[in-house]
Each structure stands twice: as structure tokens, then as C-alpha cells.
């Protein structure tokens, strides 16, 4: 897999959230032109993207802010929404990670839970309603 793309309302806020999570910026770019329209299936695309890489270097998230055509608002997904509903990250210290994300608008959907003697887990909502899951291996 190359990356997962997420459309966001505020690109800078989303970049701040994911860098607080530990990802690093691979690059930012303005996207427009016939090739973009043909690829995505929309006309008149003008967008800005930021690509962020996970600390292990293996995963990437592409955050996209559409200027044209305007992004289509949607209700924030629930954990049981059909389709893509969350992105999960492995972290070394789940509680410290949650504390780092709270100032960036993160909101716990439930509580930090322990699965057997194996993991601490939680779901939280981030920028633009994105659901992010965190997992800390403990066993």
C-alpha cells in the first residue's frame, strides 16, 4: 500500500494533529490540471496536499484540502459506519499520545481500554471528524 488519503477542512490543523501523533511531513504540493481531473474524476481541481510518513517509514497519510471544487461536507463517521471508518496507529505510550493530541482537538470516543494482557486501545476523533485508533502493545 502506498498511502491512505483523507480530505480535511483545515490542512494546517490536520498536519499539526498528525505531527503531534509522531508522523513527519514528506512534502506539500498544490494539485491542479487536466491530469488531476482525469485521475480523480472531478473537473477543475485545485487542491493542496500534505503527505506525512509514519515513524517507521513504512506508512503514509495524504491529507487533501480541496479549494475547487469545494469539498462535500458529511456527518462525521461513527465507528460502525460502512466504509473506511478509522486509521490505526501503534504507539509506545498511549496515554502520553492522547495527552499530546488533546490540544489539537482530539476527543476520546470512549475510554482507554485493555484487551487481555496484550494491548491498550482507544478510538478518538481528530480534525475533520477523522476517527483515529491507537494501540499500545503491553504483552
Distance, in Å, from the CA atom of 60 to the CA atom of 54, rounded to the nearest integer, reads: 6
pLDDT for position 75: 84
pTM of the model: 0.90
Nearest to 84 by CA among 132, 22, 13, 42: 132
CA 121 from chain centre, in angstroms, equals 17
Q: How confident is the model at residue 22 (pLDDT cuts 50, 70, 90)?
A: very high
SS3 state at 50 = strand
Average pLDDT over residues 75-92: 87
Residue 18 grid cell: 498528525
* Residue 82 pLDDT > 90: no
Q: How confident is the model at residue 78 (pLDDT cuts 50, 70, 90)?
A: confident
pLDDT for position 2: 85
Strands 107-108 and 46-53: unpaired
pLDDT for position 117: 94
What is the rounded average pLDDT for all residues in the chain?
94
Tally of CB atoms within 10 A around 23: 21
pLDDT for position 60: 96
Sole residue written with cell 459506519: 81
Domains of the chain (ranges; CATH) run 4-68 (3.10.180.10), 87-137 (3.10.180.10)
Amino acid at each position: 500500500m502506498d498511502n491512505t488519503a483523507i480530505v480535511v477542512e483545515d490542512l494546517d490543523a490536520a498536519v499539526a494533529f498528525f505531527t503531534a501523533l509522531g508522523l513527519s511531513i514528506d512534502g506539500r504540493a498544490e494539485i491542479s490540471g487536466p491530469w488531476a481531473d482525469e485521475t480523480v474524476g472531478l473537473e477543475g481541481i485545485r487542491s493542496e496536499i500534505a503527505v506525512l510518513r509514519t515513524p517507521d517509514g513504512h506508512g503514509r497519510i495524504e491529507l487533501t484540502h480541496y479549494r475547487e471544487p469545494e469539498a462535500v461536507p458529511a456527518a462525521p463517521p461513527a465507528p460502525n459506519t460502512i466504509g473506511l471508518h478509522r486509521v490505526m496507529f501503534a504507539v509506545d505510550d498511549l496515554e502520553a499520545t492522547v495527552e499530546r493530541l488533546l490540544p489539537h482537538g482530539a476527543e476520546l470516543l470512549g475510554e482507554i481500554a485493555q484487551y487481555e494482557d496484550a494491548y491498550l486501545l482507544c478510538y478518538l476523533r481528530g480534525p475533520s471528524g477523522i476517527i483515529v485508533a491507537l494501540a499500545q502493545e503491553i504483552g
